Amino acid sequence: GDSVTQMEGPVTLSEEAFLTINCTYTATGYPSLFWYVQYPGEGLQLLLKATKADDKGSNKGFEATYRKETTSFHLEKGSVQVSDSAVYFCALPLVGTGNQFYFGTGTSLTVIP
């Protein structure tokens, strides 16, 4: 069935370093793809999304490109900040009655000053 596989963490970076968190998907069609972020003690927030192949989602300096040829949706940021420390989840909606989301296992990012 449809799923996402996410790079395992945890990831520790120094401030201003470049970030990549890998996400690959398996899907029968071309679903929308999402990245959610969970800050400590909070619920999930949508970070960005892409609705079709070659789309680039972007928000708060983060970007991810929906690549059909490699079935990937990697999250990138050119210069991370301490405030980016959080857990990041890749997700896609499953085909079915409710279109509930299938989430990756999450990647914990810690940015040190």
Which residues are near other proteins by CB under 8 A? 6, 31-32, 34, 36, 42-46, 49, 89, 91, 93, 96-106
Q: Enumerate residues 6+ apart whose C-beta is below 8 A from 92.
A: 2, 3, 4, 25, 27, 31, 32, 33, 34, 101, 102
Distance of CA 75 to the CA centre of its chain: 5
17 versus 103: smaller Cβ distance to other proteins: 103
User: Phi and psi of 46, rounded to 5°?
Assistant: -65, 130
| Minimum distance from residue 16 beta carbon to other proteins (Å) | 28
**Shortest distance, CB of residue 15 to other proteins, whole angstroms?**
25
Nearest distance from C-beta of residue 12 to other proteins, angstroms: 16
